[in-house]
Structure formats: structure tokens, C-alpha cells
Chains A and B, each alone.
Chain A
Amino acid sequence: KAGVTQTPRYLIKTRGQQVTLSCSPISGHRSVSWYQQTPGQGLQFLFEYFSETQRNKGNFPGRFSGRQFSNSRSEMNVSTLELGDSALYLCASSNSRFLGNTIYFGEGSWLTVV
């Protein structure tokens, strides 16, 4: 069974540009969540999608957005990139949005903003 797949793994963008990151969850998993990891702030929850609906959102500006498709694949987008957006972006999937289910993480997408 394939794990959570994130693409691209590494990318470099210029300040002001936008970026789209992709996440394919484990087959059969309908919940996809996104996290940002930086040296200064550690791991922080971005948002969660379940059945194409955003169920929860962390404390991030509106420049951070996402969506989920009918096949459960998810994308997140960051517009008007800032230097501080440089981070590891992690996606995770689980087979339910409810309590008591293990979360499976992808390898992450390393974003560098220059």
C-alpha cells in the first residue's frame, strides 16, 4: 500500500510568487491535513480537508489556501510568497476525520523563498 505522496519534494521560489504543493493520501483515506514546519515556530497546523470540505483551519493568513478533490488528493497554495514562508510543508492523511485514528505523514515539500 503506497504511503502519502507529496510533490514536489524541493522547490525554490522568489518573493512575491505563488506556489502550489500537492498531496496524494493513502488509498481510501478521506482526511488530508497540512502542516508547516520552520526552525523558529516548529510544527504548526495549517488546515484539514475531509470529503472536499475544509473542516479546520489554523492561524495562518489568507495567503495560505487549499482544496481537496473528489479522489481525496489535496493541494495547498501560498500566494505572494514571503521569505518567512520558507519551510517544510507536510501533508498527512487518515481514514477518518474523527478521533482515534492514526495519522500518516508524507515526506514533505521543502520550500525556499529567496
Chain B
Amino acid sequence: KNEVEQSPQNLTAQEGEFITINCSYSVGISALHWLQQHPGGGIVSLFMLSSGKKKHGRLIATINIQEKHSSLHITASHPRDSAVYICAVRSLKETSGSRLTFGEGTQLTVNP
């Protein structure tokens, strides 16, 4: 079993729909990242969370440390949101900010 599990693996939505991507992890963490990867390969960091909730535009990320679970929500989805969304965690044991364990990613396709 992977330390970081994401669901769903694939998600197709119609423009305007509310989208939720889930991430569960099995280790104690000091931070969780949500990343976005477009087909060209580059990755953009959307959020870094250690508790609570963060919002940026139409994106909302929440984390429940006790339940070892995080969600990424996209409100009013748009075709340009189509990408792979990746959850990554930093273990409590790590002193380095960059050693992350990644989920397998969620391929999101938003149709017009």
C-alpha cells in the first residue's frame, strides 16, 4: 500500500462543475502539497498545508491531520483546469523541505 493514495485516478467533468480530489496518507506529516502538472511536464505548486484550509481563486484545499486526509476542490471548473493534480507529503521525520512522497496523481479533464 502506497503511503499516499489519491482518488479518483481519473475524473471527467463538464465546465462549471464543482470538483473534489481526495488524498489520504498513512504517515505523520509536517506538510502536504497540492501540485498541478500540465502535459508539457512542468509542475506548479498550488498549495502547501500543515493545517486547516487555504483558498486561492477558485481553488480550495483542506487538510484534516487527525484523519490523515486532504481534499482539493475546484469551484466553477474550466477547461483550462485540465491537468494532473498530485498530492505530496513531507514526513515528520524529514528535516528537509524537499523530500516529498507523492501520490499517483489525478488526471482531470474538464469538457466545455
Residues of A whose CB lies within 8 Å of any CB of B are 31, 33, 37, 42-45, 48, 55-56, 58, 88, 90, 92, 94, 96-108, 110
Q: Mark B70-95, 1 if CB is under 8 A from A, else 0.
A: 00000000000000001010100011
Whether A106 pairs with B45 at a CB distance below 8 angstroms is no
Whether B104 pairs with A42 at a CB distance below 8 angstroms is yes
Identify B98's interface contact among A56, A88, A106, CB under 8 A. A56
Number of residue pairs A-B, CB distance < 8 angstroms: 73
Q: Mark B39-82, 1 if CB is under 8 A from A, else 0.
A: 01111110010100000000000000000000000000000000
| Interface size range of chain B in the complex | 20 to 34
What 13 additional pairs, Cβ within 8 angstroms, besides A45-B98, A56-B94, A56-B98? A33-B96, A42-B102, A43-B86, A44-B102, A45-B101, A48-B98, A88-B41, A90-B43, A92-B98, A100-B50, A103-B98, A105-B35, A108-B42
Q: Which residues of B lie under 8 Å from residue A31 when comparing CB positions?
A: 97-98
- Return B104 CB to nearest CB of chain A, in Å: 5
Residues of B whose CB lies within 8 Å of any CB of A are 30-31, 33, 35, 40-45, 48, 50, 86, 88, 90, 94-105
Q: Within the assembled complex, what's the spacing in Å between the Cα atoms of A58 and B100?
A: 10
* CB-CB nearest in chain B for A107: B42
